[in-house]
Amino acid sequence: MNLGADSTKLSFMNKLLAILQDVKVQHTVFALPFALMSAFLAAGGVPPMEKLGWILLAMFGVRSAAMAFNRILDSKIDAENERTKSRALPAGQVGKMEYSLFLAISIALFVFACTQLNHLCLLLSPVALAVVFFYSLTKRFTWLSHFFLGLALGLAPIGAWAAVADELTWTPLLMGLAVIFWLAGLDIIYSCQDYVFDKEHDLFSFPQKFGIAAALRYSSIFHGIMVLFLLALFFAAPLGSIYLVGVVATAGLLVYEHSIVKPDDLKRVNVAFFNLNGAISVLLMCFVMIDTIY
């Protein structure tokens, strides 16, 4: 029995699991449903399974790369923040070398998936990587950083449409705009937790600039704009009454989300951020898929 080899394998697996947990693979639920609904709309029904497979792989690769880059870049900041100091890098569970290797593999995985989709996706892949990496820098110089996060995730429906249709039209752009305002709104809510920390460390956000109460009002406005873009999508795409029911349900969940987060009570921010917004994206995806198929 080679105990040394077994120990090395165990250490490798522990570090890989720590990274996968740290980049929160499960949070792909925010962008992936919009990519899938865009693929269904582009195909006018169920897309080819091979296309869906490569889209899923591309999504996993680009999101993992974005999160790994963010964790490496923000490791010192995370170490000083009570909320984030338990992340893998500041906690010493993995080193920057292991994280950098994971970043490189994720980039390669994304680019390879794009080569298997079509030439347009391959051409757009450097743009997508530049956008998702640039987001991590933005909180250092602009309180509009939430919109850059929205832009990073808003590329998901645009890329999925390009993968299936091999072209770009107004339909995926409307979906992308809806995602931008949705993510900006929910990220503003989430960043309220770091209001004091951002003030003390000269980091930029809506709460840091305008205060928590005003930031939450802006968030609700941005979510209202998201709903308007979803309604515009109804006229741009071949969608019917089933989709409109999904939009109404989405609007209702957004209203509820804002009702449970108060400037003087942020205890339910994680419920609003993770549970409700995960439900919003999956629910809307289901309505789009049903409407498109039937």
pLDDT digit string, tens, across residues 60-89: 999 999 999 999 999 999 999 999 999 999
The pTM (predicted TM-score) of the whole model is 0.92
Closest CA to 134 of 122, 119, 121, 150: 150
Inter-residue contact 63 to 24 (CB < 8 Å): no
Confidence category of residue 170, pLDDT binned at 50, 70, 90: very high
Q: Flag whether pLDDT at 208 surpasses 60.
A: yes
What are the two backbone dihedrals, phi and then psi, of residue 288, each rounded to the nearest 5 degrees? -65, -45
Determine the pLDDT at residue 220.
96
Mean pLDDT on 234-243: 92
Structure tokens, 47: 């897309």
For the segment 166-176, the average pLDDT, to the nearest whole number, is 94
Q: What is the C-alpha separation between 277 and 231, in angstroms, rounded?
A: 18
pLDDT band at 6 (very low <50, low <70, confident <90, very high): very low
CA gap 97, 116 in Å, rounded:
29
Predicted confidence at residue 234, as pLDDT, reads 95
The tokens for 248 are 């109404």
Q: pLDDT band for 10, please (50, 70, 90 cuts).
A: very low
Quick one: 3-293 is in which CATH superfamily? UbiA prenyltransferase (1.10.357.140)
Q: Is the predicted pLDDT of residue 1 greater than 60, yes or no?
A: no
- The whole-number pLDDT of residue 2 equals 54
- Per domain, the residue ranges of the chain are 3-293
- 8: confidence class by pLDDT, cuts 50, 70, 90: low
Q: What is the pLDDT of residue 238?
A: 87
CB distance 127 to 162 below 8 Å: no
pLDDT in tens, 271-286: 666 778 888 999 999 9
Largest CA distance in the chain: 66
pLDDT score at 9: 52
Give pLDDT tens digits for 191-206: 999 999 999 999 999 9
Q: Which residues, at least 6 apart from 120, have a Cβ–Cβ distance to it below 8 Å?
A: 162, 166, 167, 168
pLDDT grade, residue 3 (50/70/90)? very low
Average pLDDT, the chain: 91
**pLDDT tens digits for range 76-127:** 999 999 999 999 999 999 999 999 999 999 999 999 999 999 999 999 999 9
Residues in Cβ contact with 260 at an 8 Å cutoff, skipping those fewer than 6 apart: 268, 271, 272
HSE-up of 102 (CA within 13 Å, CB side)? 29
